[in-house]
Amino acid sequence: MAELRCPVCDTPFESSESKALPFCSERCRRIDLGRWLDEGYGLPYEPEQQPPAEPDDD
């Protein structure tokens, strides 16, 4: 049995008790994933130039 410390919530837990290693729970795993995604989206946002929709007059 190994005791780990969750990198998200800093809670000590048994590795055998978690199904979302190295996190203590699936919830913390998602939180960590969300942080990574936030960093990716944290870059300056440049909106793509959308061509104006052409009027479709049949």
Binding residues for Zn ion, rule: CB under 5 A, are 6, 8-9, 24, 28
| For Zn ion, the closer CB: 28 or 36 | 28
Which pair of tokens denotes residue 52? 């104006």
| For Zn ion, the closer CB: 11 or 37 | 11
Compute the least distance from the CB of residue 30 to Zn ion, in Å: 10
| For Zn ion, the closer CB: 17 or 37 | 17
Alpha helices by DSSP H, listed for 1-58, are 26-41
The DSSP H or E segment spanning 14 is: strand 12-14
Which pair of tokens denotes residue 46? 């440049």
